[in-house]
């Protein structure tokens, strides 16, 4: 296990730090102002502008294969880049990427969906969750019925990221109920123009999911992704990658928040002394530093294992669980250190708290991660001490 970086990798991270400091951190005030005015920022146009600046700096398609113009830096470097980027306290994703399962596209599908998505000309969404099927992805009910050369989709998907803006969805539906989830679920590439509609769901943070509605939506057979009956396998491949980047973001956000708390504690005077001199404040800083470091190493371990074997689900579950809980505790302590000032909307702390609370829910709840970890230990012989 070797986390040492090459000179080229160090240069990439230096470029990321420069980009974050020059382009992203200065935008934080605009993000804060927009929320107070009931707007969402950065909007799609501004986001594309920032992504193009990142592309000029060589930050494009972090996990995208080189044959598609990406950097393909691997999971370890992507995790490190995500940590650095998350120090800017608003969501930002580098361009040049596509859902990992879109690489299962046929040549014709690649031209219509994969390549335009990589170039930012099209926006996709991953439509798996249903009203009665959240963590239990094996229980999806939405049917797809064969009619001539088409499949007819009826049903509803909920809490779909990018669902309000996407022009096509990767939709998972039951094509053969007799085969169960392992062989009876199929993924479809469904253009919005084919007839589905969406409605935004208001949340406490900046995550803007949507409900998707399908009423007799015809989907041509050539829009099946990855073959009939292989949908659940594709869905699990998609979810695994997303889970790794959540705790990486949590580490970067927590590092920035802790730096803010340390600086404020040195400056804030109470009872004639900087509050940094009080033990109660010191313990909050120390506990936060230790927890950030712990999660950081869990993320690096999971990312390294993903690069080595492609199957790092056990390590990713541990990192995701620890990271989602860590960032909530750290942000709470940082708000406590800032006192009433931290509770105001003039500071980004309360917005970060609202944003990160969803980490414990989406991409597998805390409870699901604990169940997976326990099953891996009890039923699948996962090692205790994964560095061995």
Tokens representing 80 are 């490190």
Among 291, 363, 367, 379, the one annotated catalytic: 363
Whether 379 is catalytic: no
How far, in Å, CA of 238 to CA of 324, rounded?
19
Cis amide bond preceding 83, omega within 30: no
Pairwise CA distance, residues 262 & 380, whole Å? 43
Residue with tokens 């399908």: 214
Rg of the chain's alpha carbons, rounded to an integer?
22
Please tell me the distance from the alpha carbon of residue 301 to that of residue 62, in angstroms, as a whole number. 19
**Distance, CA of 348 to CA of 282 (rounded, Å):** 22
Closest CA to 62 of 77, 72, 49: 72
What tokens does 5 get?
């970086």
Query: Which tokens hold the place of 205?
Result: 């943070």
Q: Look up residue 250 and give its DSSP letter.
A: H
Report residue 325 as tokens: 């809980």
Rounded Cα gap, residues 20 and 236, in angstroms: 32
Catalytic residue positions, numbered? 363
């Amino acid at each position: 296990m070797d986390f040492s970086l090459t000179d080229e990798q160090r240069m990439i991270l230096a470029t990321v730090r420069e980009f974050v400091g020059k382009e992203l951190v200065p935008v934080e005030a605009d993000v804060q102002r927009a929320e107070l005015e009931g707007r969402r920022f950065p909007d799609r146009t501004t986001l594309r502008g920032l992504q193009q600046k990142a592309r000029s700096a060589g930050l494009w398609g972090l996990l995208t294969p080189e044959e598609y113009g990406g950097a393909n830096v691997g999971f370890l470097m992507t995790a490190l880049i995500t940590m650095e980027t998350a120090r800017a306290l608003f969501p930002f994703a580098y361009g040049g990427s596509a859902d990992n399962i879109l690489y299962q596209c046929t040549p014709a599908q690649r031209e219509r969906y994969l390549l335009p998505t990589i170039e930012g000309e099209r926006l996709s969404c991953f439509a798996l969750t249903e009203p009665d099927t959240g963590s239990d992805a094996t229980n999806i009910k939405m049917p797809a019925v064969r009619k001539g050369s088409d499949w007819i989709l009826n049903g509803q998907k909920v809490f779909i990221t990018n669902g309000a803006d996407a022009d096509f969805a990767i939709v998972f539906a039951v094509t053969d109920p007799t085969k169960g989830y392992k062989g009876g679920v199929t993924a479809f590439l469904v253009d919005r123009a084919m007839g589905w509609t969406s409605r935004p769901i208001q949340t406490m943070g900046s995550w803007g999911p949507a409900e998707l509605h399908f009423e007799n939506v015809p989907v041509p057979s050539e829009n099946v992704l990855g073959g009939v009956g292989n949908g659940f396998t594709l869905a699990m491949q998609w979810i695994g990658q997303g889970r790794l980047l959540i705790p990486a973001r949590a580490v970067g956000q927590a590092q920035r928040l802790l730096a803010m708390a340390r600086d404020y504690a040195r400056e804030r005077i109470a009872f004639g002394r900087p509050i940094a001199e009080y033990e109660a404040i010191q313990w909050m800083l120390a506990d936060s530093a230790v927890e950030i470091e712990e999660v950081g190493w869990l993320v690096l371990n999971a990312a390294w294992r993903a690069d080595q074997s492609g199957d790092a689900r056990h390590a990713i579950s541990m990192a995701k669980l620890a990271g989602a809980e860590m960032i909530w505790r750290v942000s709470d302590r940082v708000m406590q250190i800032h006192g009433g000032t931290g509770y105001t909307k003039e500071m980004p702390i309360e917005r970060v708290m609202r944003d990160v609370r969803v980490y414990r829910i989406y991409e597998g709840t805390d409870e699901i991660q604990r169940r997976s970890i326990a099953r891996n230990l009890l039923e699948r012989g996962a090692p205790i001490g994964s560095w061995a």
